[in-house]
A and B are shown apart, each in its own frame.
Chain A
Amino acid sequence: MSTSTAPNLDNNVDNDENNFALPRLARIGHAGHVKRCLSGLPDSQVDLDSSRLAIVFYCIGSLDLLGLIPDKIAQGDLDMWREWIWGQYVSGPYGSGFRPSPFMAFSTGGPSTSDPNSTDAPHIIMTYTALIALAILRDDFSRLDRRGLVNLLRSCQRPDGSFKTVPGDVDTESDLRTLYCAFVISSLLDNWEGVDVAKALEYVKGCRTYEGGYGISTGFEAQGGPTYIALASIYLAPPSPPASSPKYRLTREEKDKTISWLVRMQDPSGGFCGRTNKTADACYCFWCGAALKILGADHLVDSRALVTFLADCQFKYGGIAKAPGEHPDPYHTYLSLAALSMYPPPFSNANENNNASWIFEPLDPLINAKEETAKWAREKVRGLR
């Protein structure tokens, strides 16, 4: 925690306090960064091979937040992107969903395989990112097998309430990330039959730590990402039994403690840290910022300091990095823009100089998409009833 000198805290609000200038948000540069990534990634990024769809989501999502889709992107590109995403749609006896990329595809297209232990199976996290990316592209979801999605979730939930990333006999990685994605998918479908909600919420509860945040799995250290995911899941859960039971809702004391932990993640640089005594990282401006927003405590954030930190994370040739002086990537670019969508700088002089470049349309913090996009997803993914 820092100490620094500051003016008095009496009620004589200095009217000029919110009259300040920022460097320009290099919108064109950031759009250029993600567009370059969509057209190709260098071999040094081969570790993204098994999560390409997530990178695609961060790129297309950045363009959405920047207000460039659909008007500023060629129709041919939008169609091509949509087709590629649908190209990752696979089904089998375990249900249907999206795979990360064709990195394990053998066949010449079409829904691939019937082997429940297939390595070319849908992945729950990728399925979430695909649905949001398709909503950004205003897809009509006529190709979506909704029952298949429900079956996929059912195939992936483990007895402890958590979710595996992919179906099959091997116990693949499972933690809160996948659980959150399963909750978003069920919420968009408006169908929770694929999820044992009580067990899942019990699992979330077990991830809470003495600090007031959540760890990624039972017994693990509190961290900003899982804390967002835990809170979003609790608030996404349907308002009916069993999720409506008070034992799954946060008590007043728990909420206060979580808010206190979250606000203490903002460090003197203005950025948020992911864990106690770590350094600030742009992505936690989203994870902690969105968690506070979900709890209705966004007014407690020093948004001016936050924006100043993110301004410093801009890379001079486009894209936003995790910290000043680092190299950018689509993940930090998207999450920084998403944070800005929730925390506009508190200007009194928004029209001056560069200030207008920092203004964004609002974001739905629960599913992590622009409100307009979230609305589209909620209407179209569930389909006609």
Chain B
Amino acid sequence: MSSPSVLYAEQPEWADVIPIPQYENVEPLAPILYTPEYKDATDYFRGIVKTGEKSQRVLSLTEHIIRLNPAHYSAWQYRYETLLAIKAPLDVELKLMDEIAIKHMKTYQVWHHRRLLMTHLLRNTDSTGIDKGSSSSSTQSPTQIASSELTLIARTLAEDSKNYHTWSYRQWLLAFFNDDSLWERELDFVDSMLNADVRNNSAWHHRFFVVFQSGVREGEQNRDRVLKRELIYVKQNISLAPNNASAWNYLRGVLDLNKLPYSNLVTFVQPYSVSHPDTPSDLVDLENPPPSRGAQLPCPAAIEFLADVYEKEGGDNVLKATELWKSLGSEHDTIRKRYWEFRVKEGLRAIQAQS
């Protein structure tokens, strides 16, 4: 890569390129006060694009621009076209981009570029790793490539555990390669993320995606067993940290998707909905783990859950639901007072309609 301290305009090896300054035909609006380095690099980039040159030096130039402005989508796009045109080794490209990915993980283009590279690699490599083009300098199988991507993603998430682009890329990658040996390690990965932060909603979402929304893989065909495993998993997590909206959403998501009635869980939920639950017996009940000692109770999500059960039962029980909603609005979840009052009103209207 060219040294940023020397402008392209001063480098003899760029003398054949005619730089094109950015043209603003009228008084510019919200102009960016470019540094001389950025202005010089983009002048030469426009010059290159105009002639259509695709060469090794274009890779240095676009890398330079990307480091100065990782959101420059044209530089990314032209870089990708150049990589293919000169049949550059894509594994080298990925390695180079690892550092940029971690440094600029919040930039869309960083991850989109990897997607394009992955798509190209999978299309052009057969399962033994034999490259049909010459786009890789080593022979890695697609699974190995994807596996090292998962490692990079894990490293990125270690820096920012809720980064939306990175999680999205992980989901895309898994679905794209769709290889059992990749999928089977995902639940352990989710576990490690949730062990670090049980309130990490991205990790909960990922678990839902892996278990329920990406097809049924070997070892997971017994859906009743999977369902039971997931319910125990989420209940255990609620037990450890009851006031965790992510876990409650997961629980509801599992029940809704599998069309299971919420009423099945009343025994589990009830102790979470009161300030002082009965002291649990010493028996370990996997199905109904009690709130952990010292948990802040009652838990609004538990009250809401019970209210939903009562509402569904209909009849006089709707009145019980309205009492719970009232307690949420007046005491346990006051920021949503208007919402709970609305639920009360709707509930009472339903009772009237029945009678």
Given contacts A1-B301, A9-B330, A102-B23, contact A275 B162 (CB under 8 A): yes
Residues of B within 8 A of A311 (CB): none
User: Using a Cβ–Cβ cut-off of 8 Å, how many residues does chain A contribute to the interface with B?
Assistant: 78
| Residue of A whose beta carbon sits closest to that of B175 | A219
- Judge if B125 is at the interface, Cβ distance under 8 Å: no
In this assembly, does A81 line the interface, its C-beta being within 8 Å of a C-beta of chain B? yes
| Cβ-defined contact, A102 with B24, below 8 A | yes
| A interface footprint on B28-39 (CB within 8 Å = 1, 0 otherwise) | 111111110010
Contact A46 B68 (CB under 8 A): yes
Inter-chain contacts of A168 with B (CB < 8 A): 77
Interface string of B68-108 (1 = CB under 8 A from A): 11111110011011000000000000000000000000011
In Å, the complex CA distance between A301 and B339 comes to 7
- Contact of A142 with B by CB under 8 A: no
Q: Decide: A170 and B81 in contact? CB cutoff 8 A.
A: yes
Which partner residue on chain A sits nearest B199 by CB separation?
Answer: A277
A8 at the interface (CB under 8 A from B): yes
Complex: A272 Cα to B156 Cα, angstroms: 26
Contacts of A221 in B (CB 8 A): 164, 167-168, 201-202, 205-206
Whether B25 pairs with A59 at a CB distance below 8 angstroms is: no
Q: A47-B70, A170-B116, A305-B335 are in contact. Are A80 and B32 (CB under 8 A)?
A: no
Q: Is A227 an interface residue (CB 8 A)?
A: no
Tell me, yes or no, whether B179 is within 8 Å of chain A by CB.
no
Q: Looking at the assembled complex, report how far the CB atom of A368 sits from the nearest CB atom of chain B, in whole angstroms.
A: 19
Measured CB to CB, the nearest residue on chain A to B46 is A106
- Give chain A nearest CB distance to B162 CB in angstroms: 7
Chain A residues with CB below 8 A from B50, complex form: 106
Is B329 among interface residues, defined by CB-CB distance under 8 A? yes
Q: Does A240 contact B (CB under 8 A)?
A: no
Cβ contact within 8 Å between B25 and A109: yes
The reply to whether the CB of A211 lies closer than 8 angstroms to some CB of chain B is yes
Is B245 in contact with A173, judged by CB distance below 8 angstroms?
no
8 A Cβ contacts from B11-34 to A: 20, 22-34
Q: Which secondary structure characterizes the binding site on chain B?
A: helix
In the complex with contacts A8-B330, A55-B30, A84-B29, A119-B336 CB distance below 8 A:
no
Q: Is the CB of A151 closer than 8 A to any CB of chain B?
A: no
- How far in angstroms is the closest Cβ of chain B from A294? 17
Question: Residue A302 contacts which of B49, B78, B250, B335 (CB distance < 8 angstroms)?
Answer: B335
B73, closest chain A residue (CB):
A50
A2 touches B334 (CB 8 A): yes
- Nearest-Cβ distance from residue B199 to partner chain A, whole angstroms: 4
Which of A19-27, A34-42, A152-160, A189-197 is found at the contact surface with chain B?
Answer: A34-42
The answer to whether A263 and B336 have CB atoms under 8 Å apart is yes
Closest approach, in angstroms, between the C-beta of B216 and any C-beta of chain A? 16
A49, B29: Cβ atoms closer than 8 Å: no
Contact A210-B331, Cβ < 8 Å, known A219-B175, A302-B336: no
Residue of A nearest to B254 (CB): A210
Compute how far the CA of A52 lies from the CA of B22 in the bound complex, rounded to whole angstroms. Answer: 14
Answer whether A119 and B74 are a contact pair too, CB < 8 Å, given A3-B332, A49-B69.
yes
**Does A210 lie within 8 Å of B32, measured CB to CB?**
no
A-B contact pairs, 22 of them (CB 8 A): A2-B335, A38-B29, A43-B33, A46-B34, A50-B72, A83-B27, A84-B26, A103-B22, A103-B42, A104-B49, A106-B49, A108-B25, A209-B205, A215-B168, A216-B168, A220-B164, A220-B171, A261-B249, A263-B336, A263-B339, A276-B249, A305-B335
Known pairs A3-B332, A80-B29; list 4 more (Cβ under 8 Å).
A108-B23, A172-B77, A220-B205, A263-B336
